[in-house]
Amino acid sequence: MKTRICIYARVSTQGQDYQRQLVELREYAERMNYEVVKEFSEKISGAKTIAERQALTDLLDYASINHIDKVLVYECSRISRRAIDFLQVIEQLTQMKVSVYILQNGLETLMADGSVNPIAQLVLGIIGQFNSMERSLIRSRMSSGYKVYRANGGKVGRKEGYRKSEEAMRAQYIKEMSLLRKGISLRNVQSITGTSVNTLRKLREML
């Protein structure tokens, strides 16, 4: 039987394109004679929590109820730039006996016999920490740049009177709306999704 795999690709903004990732991952799967059973892709910041990442959540759900052998990812940061979330995803898939192959690094989390690859786990843990540090540095530089911009009379943030439309809110917070409809408390929904209580209150008013 062919090795059954899923492909996951992500870019951070709507202006970026994940097609190059998909093409290279498909080409690798073809070279290895893998069977691609499903592809997951999304445009969302890697700094978002797992709960906020619809395609990543769908991938984990799919892997939990369908037999797959591997998940192909272009590079580590595509999974997450949050070290804790990156390691959590790897651990979840490892417990399902699903190996993760990182194309750019040539690293695979499980050995051919299904046992954990200790070298890959160690290296990926280090890479995950570096990605998290890089994210912190980017945020620090942005904050510094904003301060200089403000000091020179610039204004940062939404325009006065700006308010996101109800339609946009519903589209962005699908998971939160679903949980609120089930009667789950604001605090519990916040714990699950990471969305602020103030935003959840606005969403509840829209039900």
CA-nearest of 176, 199, 200 to 186 is 200
| In the chain, where the domains are located | 4-128, 166-205
CA distance 56 to 46: 11
26 contacts 79 by C-beta, under 8 angstroms: no
| The pLDDT value given to residue 140 | 60
Length of the chain equals 207
Instruction: Quickly name the fold that domain 4-128 has.
Output: Rossmann fold (3.40.50)
SS3 letters across 76-130: HHHHCCCHHHHHHHHHHHHHCCCEEEECCCCEECECCCCCECHHHHHHHHHHHHH
Assign 181 to helix, strand or coil: helix
Tens-digit pLDDT string for the chain (207 aa): 899 999 999 998 888 899 999 999 999 999 999 999 999 999 998 888 888 899 999 999 999 999 999 999 999 889 988 878 888 899 999 999 999 999 988 989 999 999 999 888 788 777 766 656 555 555 565 555 656 656 666 655 555 544 567 878 888 888 888 888 888 888 878 877 778 888 888 888 888
| The pLDDT value given to residue 40 | 96
Q: Are strands 70-73 and 99-102 parallel, antiparallel or unpaired?
A: parallel
| The pLDDT value given to residue 97 | 95
| The pLDDT value given to residue 36 | 97
Burial class (CB in 10 A: 0-12, 13-18, 19+), 105: middle
| The pLDDT value given to residue 148 | 60
The dihedrals phi and psi of 99, each to the nearest 5 degrees, come to -85, 145
CA-nearest of 51, 44, 32, 33 to 8 is 44
